Structure 1
Amino acid sequence: MPLRLTPTFRERLAEADRTLFGGWICSGSPVAAEIMAGSGLDWVLIDMEHAPNGLESVLAQLHAVSGYPATPMVRVPVGETVVMKQVLDLGAQNILVPMVSSPEHAREVAAMAQYPPAGVRGVGSGLARSARWNRVEGYLPHGAEHVSVFVQVESVEAVRQAGEIAAVDGIDGVFVGPSDLAASMGLLGQQTHPDVVAAATTALTDITAAGKPAGVNAFDPAAAQAYTDAGAAYVLVGADVALLARGSEQLARTYIPD
C-alpha cells in the first residue's frame, strides 16, 4: 500500500478555525525537539539560521517530532537552491526562508521548492526521505502538493512590500520577524516598541489581504495576543533555549541567596 505523507502546514492553516501557536527549537537537540512537539503546541520550528543545526541534526529532529501531532517547519539558513534541495530531501515538508525582501526574491524561493518545468529543484526522490525512497506514489508529478513554502519579511523594505510578496505564486504564507524589523527601524532589541508593532501589524493586514496566511514571532504574551487579535494565523510564542534559560534563572533566584 502506498505511503501517505502528513498534511503540510499550508493545509493545517487552511483547516484551522483559530490561530495556530508554535514553539521554536533552537538547541539542536532531538530530545528538546521531542519535548516541544509533545507539549500540545500546534507546530514547531526547527531553526538552521540562528541555531547549531546541520543536515544530520535536522534529520534527527524531524525523526524525533514525527510521532506527534505538531507540524514541523524548518527554517533554512538562506534561500539558496542547494540548501533548499538538501533540506527538502531530508523530508522537511514545510520550509521558512529568512530575509526575503522583494517579490522577485520570493519568486526565486518558490522556484527552489518545485521540480522543473515549474521550478529548479533537483530530482533525487528515489534517494531521499522526502518521497520515502519512492514509496510515496506520484511524489514527483505532485511534489508541490507535498511541500509548503513560507518566507520571512524582516526589514522596513520587506514589510512595505509584504502584500506583493504574499501574492507570489508558490508562496504559501509570510512570516513577520519583529526582531530584525526593529533593527532595520533603528530600534535594535525593541521588538515590542509601538512603532515596530504597528509596522508588523500593517504587514499582517497586507499579507492577509493578499489571500495568504500571515504569521509573526512574539514571545511577549501581550504582543502575541495583540497580533492574534490583528489576524495572525500562526504565532511563535516561545523557544526551547529561552524556556530553559528563564526557567533555570528562576531556580537560581529561588534557591541561591544574593
Structure 2
Amino acid sequence: MENPVNRFKAGLREGRHQLGVWNAIPHPTVTECLAACGFDWIVIDTEHGAMEVTDALPALQAVAGYPAASAVVRPAINDWVLIKRHLDQGAQTLMLPYVQSRDEAEAAVRAMRYPPRGLRGVAGMTRASRYGLVEDYSHRAEDELCLILQVETAAALDRLEEIATVEGVDGIFIGPADLSASMGYPGQPEHPAVVAAIEGAIARLKAVGVPSGILTLDPDFARRCIALGTGFTAVGVDMLSLRNGAMGLVEAFGNA
C-alpha cells in the first residue's frame, strides 16, 4: 500500500493558495460538513476548546472521505509526546502553537521524524501506516509530513527568519489574536500597528521563500493577505458561523 499523498503540503510547494476554516466543535459530523463545503484545509483544533487527542481521530476519518480537503491538526502545545500521538493517528500536517525560537522550531522538527533524524517513537500498527500495510513506512513517512509553526508574539516575530528557515519547517502561521495581545493591543487585531506587523511578516516570509498563513474573520483583510502572498488563509470558525447563523434567524423572526 502506498503512503497517502499530503495534498496540503503539495499545494504549499506548488505555490497554490489554499482556503481554510477552523474546526473547534468536537464532533466528526461538524468536521465532515466543513469538508463537504469545499475548503482546501480544515484545522482540527485541540489547543482551544473541548477537543482532545481522541476527538482528532474521528475528525481525521471524516475529512478523509473528501479528497479535495486536507486536515491540519493543531496540538495543544509543541510537545513531542502529543506530536507523536497525533502523527500515529494519521495526521499528516501539524500546526504547532506558540513557537518562540529557533531551538523550539528545531525541537518540533525532531519530534516529526523517526530516528536517527529525530525522536518520534516507532509503532507498527497505527493508522498512519495503514495498520502496517504501507510498505517501509518508517523510511517514507517524512516525505508526506508537513510542519506549520505558529508565530504569535512580538518576540517570536523578531526572530521570524530564524524560526522559518529551520530545515523541516514547511510554513509559518501568523496568529493575529495573540500577536495583538503581546504587542499591547489585546482584542484589537485590526489595530494599525498589528496590521503593519502582519503585513511585514508576510513580506519577510516571502523574501525567504517560506509559505505564510493566517486566520482572519475580516473578509477585506483576508483578501489583502492573499494579495500580499499568504499561501494558506483561514476565513472562518465553525462555532462563530453557527452563532452568527442562529442570531440571524432570531433577528429575522424574533418579532414575528
Deviation for aligned residue 1:16: 4.4
Deviation for aligned residue 1:116: 0.8
How many angstroms apart in 2 are the aligned matches of 1:160 and 1:202? 11
The residue identity in structure 1 corresponding to 2:181 is A
**1:36-185 superposed matches below 5 A:** 36-68=34-66, 69-124=68-123, 126-185=124-183
The residue identity in structure 1 corresponding to 2:249 is L
Q: Which whole-Å deviations, capped at 9, do the CAs of 1:48-104 have from their partners, x for residues lacking one? A: 000211222110111111011111100000010110000000000000000001111
Kept in 1, the 8 Å contact 2:32–2:63? The answer is yes
Pairing partner for 1:212 from 206, 210, 213: 210
How many angstroms apart in 2 are the aligned matches of 1:87 and 1:229? 33
How many angstroms apart in 2 are the aligned matches of 1:55 and 1:65? 16
The answer as to 2:242 corresponding to 1:244 is yes
Kept in 2, the 8 Å contact 1:8–1:93? The answer is no
Kept in 1, the 8 Å contact 2:212–2:232? The answer is yes
Give the structure 1 partner of residue 30 of structure 2.
32
How many angstroms apart in 1 are the aligned matches of 2:134 and 2:207? 35
C-alpha RMSD of the superposition: 1.3
Give the structure 1 partner of residue 3 of structure 2.
4
Partner of 1:92, secondary structure, is coil
- TM-score calculated relative to the size of structure 2: 0.96
Q: Which runs of 5+ in 1 are unaligned?
A: none
How many angstroms apart in 2 are the aligned matches of 1:4 and 1:119? 20
Deviation for aligned residue 1:12: 2.0
How many angstroms apart in 1 are the aligned matches of 2:207 and 2:221? 21
How many angstroms apart in 2 are the aligned matches of 1:257 and 1:73? 42
How many angstroms apart in 2 are the aligned matches of 1:8 and 1:184? 33
Q: Which runs of 5+ in 2 are unaligned?
A: none
The residue identity in structure 2 corresponding to 1:180 is D
Deviation for aligned residue 1:214: 0.6
How many angstroms apart in 2 are the aligned matches of 1:43 and 1:178? 19
How many angstroms apart in 2 are the aligned matches of 1:111 and 1:217? 26
The answer as to 2:184 corresponding to 1:186 is yes
The residue identity in structure 2 corresponding to 1:72 is A
- TM-score calculated relative to the size of structure 1: 0.96
Deviation for aligned residue 1:3: 3.4
Partner of 1:141, secondary structure, is helix
How many angstroms apart in 2 are the aligned matches of 1:183 and 1:50? 16
Partner of 1:78, secondary structure, is coil
The residue identity in structure 1 corresponding to 2:232 is Y
Deviation for aligned residue 1:8: 4.4
Q: Which runs of 4+ in 1 moved over 3 A?
A: none
- Using the TM superposition, name which of 75-84 and 204-213 deviates more: 204-213
The residue identity in structure 2 corresponding to 1:94 is T
Partner of 1:11, secondary structure, is helix
Partner of 2:32, secondary structure, is helix
Identity %: 36
